[in-house]
Chains A and B, each alone.
Chain A
Amino acid sequence: MIRHVIHRRALLPLAAALAPPWTAGAVQAGGLGRIACAGSALTETVCALGQGGRLVAVDSSSGFPAAQTAALPRIGYYRALPTEGLVSLAPDLVLLSSDAGPPGVLVVLREAGLPIQVIADGVGPGAAEAKARAVAAAIGVSGETLAAAIAADWAALDAPLAALPPVRVLFVLSLARGAPLVGGRDTHADAAIAAAGGVNCAQAAWSGYRPLSAEGAAGLAPDAVLMMQQSLDEAGGPAEVAATPAIAVTPAGQAGRIIGMDGPYLLNFGPRAAHSRRDLVLRLHPGAALPPLPARPWTAG
C-alpha cells in the first residue's frame, strides 16, 4: 500500500523533476543528456561514440580513456552500486553492465525513477559491436559506424590467425599466497584466449576461477601464462611468476613465457577488442605476420 502511494504521488513528479525539460528530447537527439556509467566496456563505448563529455560519473573499473574519465566522480565497484550517491548525481541515463548490482539497489534506483539501461556484457566475436549498437541506441546516437569499424578490424585478423598453430595458455588472475587463481571456462579470459586462437588449458578443468595446485599445473602443461599487467606487477614481475612452484613446473615457466596485458583492455570486449585481440596474438606468436589495424580514435588513451 505504501509502495502504491509512493508510486502515484511521488514518482510522477520525480520523473519530471529528475529529468530537466530539455532531456527528453536531448537523450534521443544525442546532445546533452547526463550519463552515469558502470562497466569499463560501456564507458569506453560511450567515449568511442564521441559522447564522453556527457558522462557525469563512472564506476571504479572505468579508467579508459583516462583523459575523459580521470576527473569524473566514482560510484564505486559496479557490483556494489550506491543508491543515494547515484540519485544525487541526477543522471538522465544510467548505463549498467548486465553484471551490475546488487539487485536490491537496482530495484530502489528504478523506484526512484532513474532511467536505467542494462547492456548485455557479452564476450567473444561480435560482442564489442553488439555493445556499440546497444549503447548507441540507449544514448540516442548512431552506432553503426563504430560497430562496422570494430567488426572490420576484428575480421581482418581471422584469416592470418587461422594459419597459426594453437598455443596452450593458462590465465592467472592472481598469485595470492602462491597458489595461482586460474580462469577456466565461462570467463572473459577464456573468451579472450579463444579469440586469439589459443587454447585455454584450464578450460576442461573447471568453470570460473579456482586455485591451481602445482601438480595440477604440471598436468595442464601451458606453453604460456597470461596475466593482467596489474596482477603481474603485484606478483613481482615475470621472473617471480615463472619461479612460483606451480608455474615453474610448466613449459611456460621453464621458457619464461609470462605475458602481461592491461586487464580491461584484454578482458572487457569493448571497442578496443580487435586491437586487444591482435596484441594478444602477437604476444603468443612473436613475429607473426598480422595485418596492421587502422588507427582508431578510441584506441588512443
Chain B
Amino acid sequence: MSAPALDLPVPRPADALPRALLGGAALLLAALLAGLLLGPAAVTPAGLLATLLDRLGLAPLPAEYAREAAVLMVVRAPRVLLAALLGGGLASAGAVMQGLFRNPLADPGLIGVSSGAALAVVAALILGPTLFGAAAGRLGLWLQPVAAFCGGLLAVAAVARLGTRQGVVGVATLLLAGVAVAALCNALLGMLIFGADDRQVRDVNFWLLGSLAGARWQQLPVVALLVLVPALGLLTLARPLDALALGEREAFHLGVPVEAVKRLAIVLAAVAASGGVAFSGLIGFVGLVVPHLVRLALGAGHRVVLPGSALLGATVLVLADLAARSLAAPAELPVGVVTALLGAPFFLWLLRRRAVAGEGA
C-alpha cells in the first residue's frame, strides 16, 4: 500500500512529548542551578556541592563553607523552590484556561483569582489588626496567604456560579462574569485603600507587585499541596481539552464529558493559581505568555502544552526571581515587575507575529 510520499516523516502528536519533557526538565534543572549559584551573596559550586553532601549525610560540611551553606539553606533554596512551584502552577493554570476558553488571552486572572485574592489580602492588611486584634499577631505570616487563597477561590466560585445556567457552564458568560466580579473586587479594594493609612497603602502596593522574598521552608509543603497537586491534576485534562478545541458539541460527540471537564478545569486552575498568589502576591504574565511559548516551539496539542508549560513556567519564574534579587542589589525588585517587563514585550511580539502571519487575533 505504501506510496513514495510516505517516505516523508509522518507527524505524530506523541512525538513532541519526550522532547518537551526532556527539554523542559533540562531547562528547569539549569535554571534551578543558576538560581542556587547566582545572586548578590556569593555561593560557589564547591559550596553548593559541600552543602548537598552535608544535607544528604554523605560528608560533613567543611567549616569554610558554613556561610555559603547558610545562605543556600535559609535564603536561597526555599526561594528557588517556591519560584519553581509557583511558576509551574501559574503556567499550567494559564494553559488550561486558554484551552478551556479557546482564547489566547485567558489566564487565571480572567475568572477572578487575582482580583479576589488581592481584595482579601488588602482586607487582611487593613482590617486584620482591627478585626483580630492580638490574634492577628499570632496568625502572623499565615494571615495573608490564607486570606489570598480563600479570596481567590471565593471569587472563582462566584464567577462559576454566575456563569452556570441549568447546570451548563457557558464559557462566554463565564468570561463576562469574570470581568464583572473583577470590577467589583477592584471597587471594594479602592474603598479599603481609601480607609487605609499611608503605610498600609505602600504595603498593598508592594503586595500587588509580587515578591518571593519571604519564602521559607515551612511554606513549601503547603504550596506543594495547593499548587503541585492541582497542577498534576490539570495534566490529565490534555485529551478532553484537545477535543474541546474543536468546539463543545464536537467534543461531546467524541465522548468527552464536557461539563465535568469544564468544572474540573476551573476548580483545579483556581486552586493552583490561588495557592500561588497566596505566597507571592500578584505575578503576572507567567500564566499568559509561557503557554504561548510552548505552543510556538512544540505545537498546540495539550498533551505537550500542559507539561511543557508547567516545566517552562517553573524555569521562567526561577530566572525572573534571580533577576529580581540581582538587578538592583542589594535592594530587590518586585518579581511581578520583572515578569511584566519580560512578558509584555514578548506578548506584543507574539501579537505582531500573528498579525503578520494573517491569523488574526
Chain A positions near chain B (C-beta within 8 angstroms) = 2-3, 6, 9-11, 13-14, 16-18, 57, 60, 73-77, 79-90, 99, 101-105, 107-108, 111-113, 173, 186-187, 207-211
Specify the chain A residue showing the minimal Cβ separation from B137. Answer: A103
The complex places the Cα of A112 from the Cα of B70 at a distance, in Å, of 7
Interface residues on chain B, size class: 35 or more
Specify the chain B residue showing the minimal Cβ separation from A89. Answer: B330
In the complex the two chains form, is A85's CB within 8 Å of B203's CB?
no
| Contacts A13-B61, A82-B325; A76 near B66 (Cβ below 8 A) | no
In the complex the two chains form, is B74's CB within 8 Å of A111's CB?
yes
Candidates A2, A3, A74, A88; contact of B41 at CB < 8 Å: A88
- Neighbouring B residues of A112 by C-beta, 8 Å: 70-71, 74-75
In the complex the two chains form, is B331's CB within 8 Å of A79's CB?
no
Candidates B41, B202, B213; contact of A104 at CB < 8 Å: B213
Candidates A14, A60, A108; contact of B214 at CB < 8 Å: A108
- Neighbouring A residues of B211 by C-beta, 8 Å: 80, 102
Candidates A17, A187, A209; contact of B70 at CB < 8 Å: A17
- Which B residues between 199 and 218 are near A, CB-CB below 8 angstroms? 199, 202-203, 206, 211, 213-218
| Contacts A13-B70, A89-B330, A208-B197; A82 near B213 (Cβ below 8 A) | yes
Candidates B194, B203, B215; contact of A79 at CB < 8 Å: B203
Residue B302 at the A interface, CB < 8 A? no
In the complex the two chains form, is A10's CB within 8 Å of B213's CB?
no
Chain B positions near chain A (C-beta within 8 angstroms) = 39-42, 54, 61, 63, 66-67, 69-71, 73-76, 79, 140-141, 194, 196-199, 202-203, 206, 211, 213-218, 325, 328-332, 334
- Neighbouring A residues of B215 by C-beta, 8 Å: 108
- Neighbouring B residues of A79 by C-beta, 8 Å: 199, 202-203, 206
Candidates B203, B216, B331; contact of A74 at CB < 8 Å: B331
- Neighbouring A residues of B197 by C-beta, 8 Å: 186, 207-209
| Contacts A76-B332, A101-B203, A105-B213; A13 near B75 (Cβ below 8 A) | no
In the complex the two chains form, is A107's CB within 8 Å of B214's CB?
yes
In the complex the two chains form, is B206's CB within 8 Å of A80's CB?
yes
In the complex the two chains form, is A209's CB within 8 Å of B213's CB?
no
Candidates B54, B70, B331; contact of A76 at CB < 8 Å: B331
- Neighbouring B residues of A87 by C-beta, 8 Å: 40-41, 71, 75
Specify the chain A residue showing the minimal Cβ separation from B196. Answer: A208
Residue in B66, B69, B331 whose Cβ sees the most chain A Cβ within 10 Å: B331
In the complex the two chains form, is A3's CB within 8 Å of B61's CB?
no
In the complex the two chains form, is A108's CB within 8 Å of B203's CB?
no
In the complex the two chains form, is B75's CB within 8 Å of A84's CB?
yes
The complex places the Cα of A18 from the Cα of B332 at a distance, in Å, of 21
| Contacts A3-B217, A6-B73; A76 near B141 (Cβ below 8 A) | no
In the complex the two chains form, is B206's CB within 8 Å of A75's CB?
no
Residue in B39, B74, B76 whose Cβ sees the most chain A Cβ within 10 Å: B74
